[in-house]
Structures are given as C-alpha cells and as structure tokens.
Amino acid sequence: MELNEFAEILGVEFKQPDLLRQALTHRSYINEQTGEEIGDNERLEFLGDAILDFITADMLYVRFPDMPEGGMTRLRSALVRTEALAQMAIDCRLGEVLLIGKGEENSGGRERTNNLCRAFEAVIGAIYLDQGLDIVKGFIIPRLNQMQQYVMEAAIRKDARSQLQEWSQAAHNLTPVYRTVSSSGPDHDKAFEVEVLIGTRVISTGSGRSKQSAAQSAAITALELVESGQIEI
C-alpha cells in the first residue's frame, strides 16, 4: 500500500508527507539503508505518546465529571495500553506500510505488537506537527470511544465482583460489601436480592436464583454506573 492510500485510511491529508513516512520508519530500516535522509520514528513516538495521554485524560475528565482520579487513571491506562494501540494500528492497516529492515520483517516485525503500537503513536505525533491538535482529536477520539466501549464490556464479561473490587480499592481504598436484602419462593426455586455497598453507601442491587448470581448482577450494575461516571463515594 502506498503512503497516500494509507493517509486516506487515516482521513488526513498531510501537508508534509515526509512526516508520515518518518512516523512509519522503524529503526531497523534506517540501519539497512545508505543515504536515507529521513530518520526513524522514535522522536515522533515520544511526542505522540504525550499527546495521546493528554487527549485521553481530557476526554475522560469531560465525559465523567464525577469519576474520581483513581478511576480515570485506570481507564486511561486501559485505553492507551500497548495492546489497545496496536489494535488501533491494525484497524488502520498500519502494518502494511511500516518501513522495517529485512531481518525485522523476516522475524514477524510487521505484526509485532510493540512495533505497531510505537508506530501508531508516531503517526499521532506526525499528525500533530502537520495539522495541529484539533485534527489529532478528530482522528483519535472516535477510536478511543470504540476502545472504551470494548474495555468496559470486557470488564463486565470478566468476574464483575473482582473487577468492581479492583476499581473500588484503587479509586477509593474501599472493599465492596454484599448484603442479602431478601429471598422469596420455595426452596427449589428461590430468588435472592443482594445489594452492594462501598463504604456506607448502597451502590446498586441485583437479583438471581442464588446469592452468588444476585451479587454478580449487583456488581455488573455497579460497573455500568462506574462507566457512566454516576458513582459518588
């Protein structure tokens, strides 16, 4: 794929195409070239990493006005972790235009997670230098939104009680407590209602055929409240 085709996928028309080329240039490529005037992407990666952290923090601060600092930190870390950025790079088909040395390519470097993540950060740095911060936001925020939805859904698919405990301890230094509110029905078909407390506040309730499933339901509801920034301790 040509660089101009890749730029079309990004949705960015570069004024300085050499910036995009540099963002896609791995150190191994420079080591195997003679007379290469464009450097590798490591400086652009440094810049893009800082810009990405800022935009992600700004987005979470605005979107979740009631979320405590610990919760925002954990969510930001999940959104900009290496694997998440590598997936964004794959979605952009970045590996197809990555400039790497023969040895690196033969060892699978075009699909290597670290290479994709770093190049993606470098592309962000290149967009910033070429187009400015607003264009970078237009490029990255929709991708962060999609990743945020995936992160929260993945958290809910995991053991919700464990996930809620991790969040609660990190954000508030408190461990959730589950309390059975009621039970009804015959022994062979009982229904339980359980509430979860963080500190002294009841956060959510859940119901199920066992105390464990009711507690899990309560934890899932609590995680959804975390996602929407509605929990205040």
- pLDDT mean across residues, the chain: 88
Which residue has tokens 């610990």? 70
Domain boundaries, the chain: 3-157, 160-227
pLDDT of residue 63: 85
Which residue has tokens 């230098």? 129
pLDDT of residue 59: 92
pLDDT of residue 115: 93
pLDDT in tens, 63-78: 888 777 877 887 888 8
Beta bridge partners, 182, equal: 193
User: Phi-psi category of 107—alpha, beta or left, where left has phi over 0 and alpha has psi -120 to 50?
Assistant: alpha
Residue 44 has pLDDT above 80, yes or no: yes
* Catalytic residue annotation: 49, 121
pLDDT in tens, 79-107: 888 888 999 999 999 999 999 999 999 99
The three-state DSSP-derived secondary structure of the chain is CCHHHHHHHHCCCCCCHHHHHHHCECHHHHHHCCCCCCCCCHHHHHHHHHHHHHHHHHHHHHHCCCCCHHHHHHHHHHHCCHHHHHHHHHHCCHHHCCECCHHHHHCCCCCCHHHHHHHHHHHHHHHHHHHCHHHHHHHHHHHHHHHHHHHHHHHHHCCHHHHHHHHHHHHHCCCCEEEEEEEECCHHHCEEEEEEEECCEEEEEEEECCHHHHHHHHHHHHHHHHHCCCCCC
**Domain 3-157 and domain 160-227 have a common topology:** no
pLDDT in tens, 132-172: 999 999 999 999 988 887 776 665 556 788 889 988 888 88
Q: Dihedrals φ, ψ of 206, to 5°?
A: -150, 160
Class in CATH terms, 3-157: mainly alpha
Residue 202 has pLDDT above 70, yes or no: yes
Class in CATH terms, 160-227: alpha beta
With pLDDT > 70 as the criterion, what percentage of the chain qualifies?
95
pTM above 0.75?
no
pLDDT of residue 230: 78
Model confidence at 117, pLDDT cuts 50, 70, 90, reads: very high
CA distance 8 to 180: 56
